[in-house]
Chains A and B, each alone.
Chain A
Amino acid sequence: MGLNNLTLVELGKMIHKGEVRPHEILIDVFNRIQEVEGKVKSFITLTIEKAYEMAKDAENTIFTGKKNIATGIPIAIKDNICTKGILTTCASKILYNFYPPYESTVTEKLLKEKYVLVGKTNMDEFAMGSSTENSGFHITRNPWNLERVPGGSSGGSAAAVAADECIAALGSDTGGSIRQPASFCGVVGLKPTYGRVSRFGLVAFASSLDQIGPLTKCVADSALLMNVIAGYTHMDSTSVPIKSPDFTEKLGKEIKNFKIGIPKEYFIKGMDKEVEERVNEAIKHLESLGCIPIEISLPHTEYAVATYYIIATSEASSNLARYDGVKYGLRVEGKDLLDMYMKTRSKGFGAEVKRRIMLGTYCLSAGYYDAYYKKAQQVRTLIKNDFEKAFKEVDFIVTPTVPSTAFKIGEKIDDPLQMYLSDIFTISVNLGGLPAISIPCGFNKDGLPVGLQIIGKPFNEAEILQLAFAYEQSTPWHTKKPLL
């Protein structure tokens, strides 16, 4: 077994003790990539040379005794997070040649700790999708079953972690884009509270919903990565100026008498039977650890998908206006300005992105704004209120992450509505700005992973991690690896 199979926690200890050197880990990582990347296709860009330079840099740092959490750890970054001088495409043809002249806050923080960048991972174009099939370049396959999608939009990051092509990864979550692929690929994915992690350098899809978070092999790794990436920055006005805790602080502490809310609206008709069974078993298990399950109601849940698709597409229609062929990225020449705009955007954007730009443009148009965007904002407030009310009774809310396991490639690509329903349990969390995690809670009979979602109160990531850790450490799921 190679070093690439280990976790951040394990490698951190080994590096600290001098048992392993960063370039050795990197060799194993690239060997694994060599072995499986042709099947999984997690990456858009591999930064091999750069990675070895960074590993060497990390070794020098370790030599001087200044080791940090991410020092020398091979990490994969979703391709919508800007890395200075390194191709950042958002899996879009319109940014096929975009090398950002600036570093995102999160990668800046990782750089300070001398992390090692493995590469930039595949995704649905501009993070719009739930299967990574909307990538402008290629599709990524689920390491547990190559006929199936890895989920999305952070499908590349989730698959890379599941396939041990990296030690950990960063993704972004607008409506479930970290948690849903984490669930499909059997890894841990945390979406932090809106404002907890800086969005500076994250190419915007829907500004009021986007949040960067970790995808890891175990809960403790997510806690460690949160210690690196969380925190206020003046560069992002929506980042919240409060001090971050040590996210590992509560790991291993008792979870007795934690009240866990089970929303009745989340156990819907048409939900995959096996998913329902695994989640119910997980709730039973939590109960056996001392938690108190309480049935709760989130009455506005049924409006979440509609609300989300109005707000997210409205913001996206504006956020994506900058890709016009004038300044960077793709330009298709035209006979005049308008012609250049139209040709560039027609060729540069894929079908799903175009669909969402049109939807959003429509929702914001004169005469429709009140009926759609404004109404959606009002419903968003109601959904937030549902959560606030529920959190007066319970400490956490526990749900399935996705109503199904990973679906087949091509199965839903022609049916956007079916695809959108894949995010039905994750979307409300973004609308409420809340933190939530997805952790593995078993497999179906076909050997596909099932995910358990734990939603917490705002800025309660450490508590979520505490509960998730207690569950994980008393179950075997996180130790299972896909056969590739």
Chain B
Amino acid sequence: MQYEAVIGLEVHAQLLTQSKIFCSCSTQFGSEPNTQVCPVCLGMPGVLPVLNKKAVEYTIKTGLAMNCKIASYSRFARKNYFYPDLPKGYQISQYELPLCEEGYLEITVNNERRKIRIKRIHLEEDAGKNIHDPSGYSFVDFNRTGVPLMEIVSEPDIKTPAEAASYMKKLRTILRYLGVCDGNLEQGSLRCDANISIRPVGSEEFGVKTEIKNINSFRFVEKALEYEIKRQIRILTDGGKITQETRLWDSQTGTTQSMRSKEEAHDYRYFPEPDLVPVVVSKDFIERIKKDMPELPDKKIEKFIKQYNLPNYDAEILTEEKSIAEWFEEAVKLGGKPKEVSNWIMVELLRLLNEENKDITQCPVKPSQLVELIRLIEKGTINRNTAKEVFEEMYRTGKTAESIVKEKGLTQISDDAILIEALKEVISKNPKEVERFKSGEEKLIGFFVGQVMKNTKGKANPKLVNELILKLLKDT
């Protein structure tokens, strides 16, 4: 029998607010354990939460970017369970009335455009981290406790692991465009749980689902889901039944392992958080957020293709990060030809940045400097090969193209007299090759050009050399 998968993703995104969701502690990652804590985030007796408005703003911003309805009246709820990393014994989350509902995201997989519906986006607090010591004791680091966390829940509209990965990437791109989350899967600022079931192709009913946790890279989203689909198909083909359970992805073995069954699932005993008043979102507040929204990747791709005539491939790569797209647009605005600028970014710039694991905001070359370099090529001051060398130098030193060309004497030699002199020398030193050329081995022209380039340290204008050499060889 042919099976198809039904997948829904629950994504947790840490918000880039300066302070935690219910107190003024810093949210900075990687500090010494328990240095960013206070009585409020430690849940000490008698303390009360105070909602961070920025966190609400960021969640609404995300909701708007994902085409959601924004609730004018929303509430927080307590999710009750015991765990050492949860100091109050409950997590303040949202249950019945989330901030955002009923949105969608569009993804493109194998040239097929698909709409993935978003069920809800809600705001909650992150838990701390347990640290297990070989001594047998465990420790708890509460620095992460109370960092604002946004949960983005999709409808089960995803059909393949590739779509799931594409959805995750799109989500991450949007979050980074909005500046609400840095999208770092390894550090856990973006986390993904997947709900997955399979059913015979053509069936309308859902199968029994499993939930997969601990997926912490894009590659693992695909791998974990691929594994789980195979596992479920195997069980059904062998005449077995899928158990509803939570499974843990193990990237070491590339498998999922049972964590807890439905019967062992917590009863979270949600109820409205009495320590916080309901959140009332005014139209004004939403309008202000809307005004503050950046141009989103889908809009940018469209613009890059239509306005700048870029191929789809270029447009998608250039828009993956807002900072790259902005760098590109700045260069174009300053007079760089779009395709030329795109080539420089995609071939040279991103390569150099990747080598050092930097992003474009840390790039020493400014868009105006690339445009200047492109102009030098267009004017014939330097040739394309030299330009690559100059570009690397610009990247390393931050100097302008012009000053590098001047300093290193890289200006292209376009003076006929100098070039003829150089050519004559090459001809006189290589009589055999001249003979062979004359007897019809025309491919040897490359050899002569090469020799001239070598002797002029690459500065000769290759176009001119080419023209001159034909003339000179015919004359000898």
Contacts of A202 in B (CB 8 A): 46
Could you give, for residues 72-90 of chain B, a 1 whenever the CB lies within 8 Å of some chain A CB and a 0 otherwise?
0000001010101001111
Bound CA span A235–B45, Å: 14
Interface-central residue, A104, A315, A361, by most chain B CB under 10 Å: A315
Interface presence of B398 (CB below 8 A):
no
* A231 CB, min distance to chain B CBs, angstroms: 15
Could you list some 9 contacts between A and B, CB below 8 A? A88-B45, A204-B45, A237-B51, A237-B276, A238-B275, A317-B80, A318-B90, A324-B84, A369-B271
Bound CA span A376–B45, Å: 26
8 nearest A-B pairs in the assembled complex, by CB-CB distance: A321-B89, A364-B269, A207-B274, A208-B274, A203-B45, A203-B46, A201-B46, A82-B46
Whether A235 touches B48, Cβ cut-off 8 Å, given contacts A101-B39, A322-B88, is yes
Bound CA span A314–B82, Å: 16
Interface presence of B140 (CB below 8 A):
yes
Contacts of A60 in B (CB 8 A): none
Bound CA span A324–B88, Å: 9
Bound CA span A60–B261, Å: 67
Contacts of A321 in B (CB 8 A): 80, 82, 88-90
* A23 CB, min distance to chain B CBs, angstroms: 30
Interface presence of B42 (CB below 8 A):
yes
Interface presence of A243 (CB below 8 A):
no
Residues facing B in A315-336 (CB within 8 A) are 315, 317-318, 320-322, 324, 326-328
**In the complex, which residue of chain B has the Cβ closest to the Cβ of A81?**
B46
Residues facing A in B357-408 (CB within 8 A) are none
The secondary structure that dominates the A interface is loop
Would B51 and A318 count as touching, CB distance under 8 A? Answer: no
Contacts of A207 in B (CB 8 A): 274-275
Could you give, for residues 20-61 of chain B, a 1 whenever the CB lies within 8 Å of some chain A CB and a 0 otherwise?
000000000000000000010011111111110000000000
Contacts of B46 in A (CB 8 A): 80-82, 100, 104, 199-204
**In the complex, which residue of chain A has the Cβ closest to the Cβ of B138?**
A337
Could you give, for residues 259-296 of chain B, a 1 whenever the CB lies within 8 Å of some chain A CB and a 0 otherwise?
00000000101110011110000000000000000000
The secondary structure that dominates the B interface is loop
Would B49 and A237 count as touching, CB distance under 8 A? Answer: yes
* A351 CB, min distance to chain B CBs, angstroms: 21
Would A100 and B48 count as touching, CB distance under 8 A? Answer: no
Would A234 and B50 count as touching, CB distance under 8 A? Answer: yes
Residues facing B in A290-347 (CB within 8 A) are 314-315, 317-318, 320-322, 324, 326-328, 337, 341
Contact of A102 among B44, B78, B82, B87 (CB under 8 A): B44
Beyond known contacts A101-B39, A321-B88, A322-B44: 12 more, CB 8 A cutoff: A81-B46, A100-B46, A202-B46, A203-B46, A207-B274, A237-B275, A237-B277, A321-B90, A322-B43, A322-B88, A322-B89, A373-B271
Whether A324 touches B82, Cβ cut-off 8 Å, given contacts A207-B274, A364-B269, is yes
Would B84 and A364 count as touching, CB distance under 8 A? Answer: no
Number of A-B contacts (CB under 8 A): 100
**In the complex, which residue of chain A has the Cβ closest to the Cβ of B273?**
A207
Whether A314 touches B271, Cβ cut-off 8 Å, given contacts A237-B276, A321-B89, is yes
Bound CA span A104–B271, Å: 26
**In the complex, which residue of chain B has the Cβ closest to the Cβ of A240?**
B277
* B318 CB, min distance to chain A CBs, angstroms: 45
Contacts of A341 in B (CB 8 A): 82
Contacts of B277 in A (CB 8 A): 237-238
* A175 CB, min distance to chain B CBs, angstroms: 15
Interface presence of A258 (CB below 8 A):
no
Contacts of B48 in A (CB 8 A): 199-200, 235-238
Contacts of B140 in A (CB 8 A): 326
Whether A315 touches B269, Cβ cut-off 8 Å, given contacts A322-B87, A327-B87, is no
Total residues of chain A contacting the partner, CB 8 A: 44
Could you give, for residues 232-274 of chain B, a 1 whenever the CB lies within 8 Å of some chain A CB and a 0 otherwise?
0000000000000000000000000000000000010111001
Interface presence of A418 (CB below 8 A):
no
**In the complex, which residue of chain B has the Cβ closest to the Cβ of A338?**
B82
Bound CA span A201–B44, Å: 9
Which residues of A are interface residues toward B (Cβ below 8 A)? 80-82, 88, 90, 95, 98, 100-102, 104, 199-204, 206-208, 234-238, 314-315, 317-318, 320-322, 324, 326-328, 337, 341, 361, 364-366, 369, 373
Whether A318 touches B275, Cβ cut-off 8 Å, given contacts A200-B48, A201-B47, is no
**In the complex, which residue of chain B has the Cβ closest to the Cβ of A373?**
B271
* A373 CB, min distance to chain B CBs, angstroms: 6
Contacts of A80 in B (CB 8 A): 46
Contacts of B49 in A (CB 8 A): 237
**In the complex, which residue of chain A has the Cβ closest to the Cβ of B49?**
A237
Whether A326 touches B43, Cβ cut-off 8 Å, given contacts A207-B274, A237-B276, A321-B89, is no
Would B44 and A324 count as touching, CB distance under 8 A? Answer: no
**In the complex, which residue of chain A has the Cβ closest to the Cβ of B51?**
A237
**In the complex, which residue of chain A has the Cβ closest to the Cβ of B276?**
A237
Contacts of B78 in A (CB 8 A): 318
Whether A365 touches B45, Cβ cut-off 8 Å, given contacts A321-B88, A324-B89, is no
Contacts of B44 in A (CB 8 A): 100-102, 322, 327-328
* B266 CB, min distance to chain A CBs, angstroms: 10
Interface-central residue, B45, B49, B269, B277, by most chain A CB under 10 Å: B45
**In the complex, which residue of chain B has the Cβ closest to the Cβ of A362?**
B269
* A118 CB, min distance to chain B CBs, angstroms: 20
Bound CA span A81–B48, Å: 13
Whether A365 touches B269, Cβ cut-off 8 Å, given contacts A238-B277, A337-B84, is yes
Bound CA span A321–B43, Å: 10
Would A102 and B47 count as touching, CB distance under 8 A? Answer: yes
Bound CA span A445–B264, Å: 60
**In the complex, which residue of chain A has the Cβ closest to the Cβ of B43?**
A322
* A199 CB, min distance to chain B CBs, angstroms: 6
Interface-central residue, A81, A101, A208, A321, by most chain B CB under 10 Å: A321
* B280 CB, min distance to chain A CBs, angstroms: 13
Bound CA span A353–B89, Å: 17
Contacts of A236 in B (CB 8 A): 48
Contacts of A88 in B (CB 8 A): 45
Contacts of B90 in A (CB 8 A): 318, 321
Bound CA span A373–B47, Å: 24
Would B80 and A364 count as touching, CB distance under 8 A? Answer: yes
Would B80 and A318 count as touching, CB distance under 8 A? Answer: yes
Bound CA span A76–B42, Å: 28
Would A327 and B42 count as touching, CB distance under 8 A? Answer: yes
Residues facing A in B180-221 (CB within 8 A) are none
* A336 CB, min distance to chain B CBs, angstroms: 11
Bound CA span A100–B39, Å: 9
* A374 CB, min distance to chain B CBs, angstroms: 9
Bound CA span A337–B137, Å: 10
* B275 CB, min distance to chain A CBs, angstroms: 5
Contacts of A204 in B (CB 8 A): 45-46, 275
Contacts of A314 in B (CB 8 A): 271
Bound CA span A100–B84, Å: 20
**In the complex, which residue of chain B has the Cβ closest to the Cβ of A89?**
B45
Contacts of B42 in A (CB 8 A): 327
Contacts of A200 in B (CB 8 A): 46-48
Contact of B271 among A199, A318, A326 (CB under 8 A): A318
Bound CA span A318–B77, Å: 11
Contact of A364 among B47, B51, B82, B271 (CB under 8 A): B271
**In the complex, which residue of chain A has the Cβ closest to the Cβ of B266?**
A366
Bound CA span A186–B269, Å: 41
Would A318 and B39 count as touching, CB distance under 8 A? Answer: no
Contacts of B50 in A (CB 8 A): 234-235, 237
* A94 CB, min distance to chain B CBs, angstroms: 10
* A266 CB, min distance to chain B CBs, angstroms: 27
**In the complex, which residue of chain A has the Cβ closest to the Cβ of B38?**
A102
**In the complex, which residue of chain A has the Cβ closest to the Cβ of B50?**
A237
